[in-house]
Amino acid sequence: MKKILLTLITPILLAGCSGLPRDTEVFINCTPECHDGQIEIHQGDTVTLTATITGNTNRAVMWSKIGAGLLTVHGNSADFSSDGAGTARVTAKPAADQSKSASIGITIARF
């Protein structure tokens, strides 16, 4: 009876310990706070963006920007600023799985 019991319990314990593989996900947080993937700033303001990677041991981030402004990257965080009005989209992708991404739309308003 012990042998049968161990045979039935072992696969359950192993599945519980290892878990199922998780998909890689990326999230961006903003300071000041962004809402629904958007933020509005004024000329001369700076937004700090922080990317968080889950589901993968490689936490490295690839940043890109389209549009107005300057993006200064510091690993998993980046500072966005602009001296002129306009719009931009900043995207973060996990280096380990660039098919995944998170983006923030930024509107730069005049004073």
Q: Which of 111, 98, 86 has the alpha carbon at shortest distance from 62? A: 98
Average of per-residue pLDDT across 45-63: 96
| Domain spans, the chain | 22-109
**21 band by pLDDT with thresholds 50, 70 and 90:** low
pLDDT of 66 > 90? The answer is: yes
Q: Which of 83, 84, 103, 85 has the alpha carbon at shortest distance from 93? A: 103
Average of per-residue pLDDT across 34-63: 95
pLDDT of 33 > 60? The answer is: yes
CATH T-level fold of 22-109? Immunoglobulin-like (2.60.40)
107 C-beta neighbours (distance < 10 Å), count: 15
Q: Which residue has the higher pLDDT, 16 or 89?
A: 89
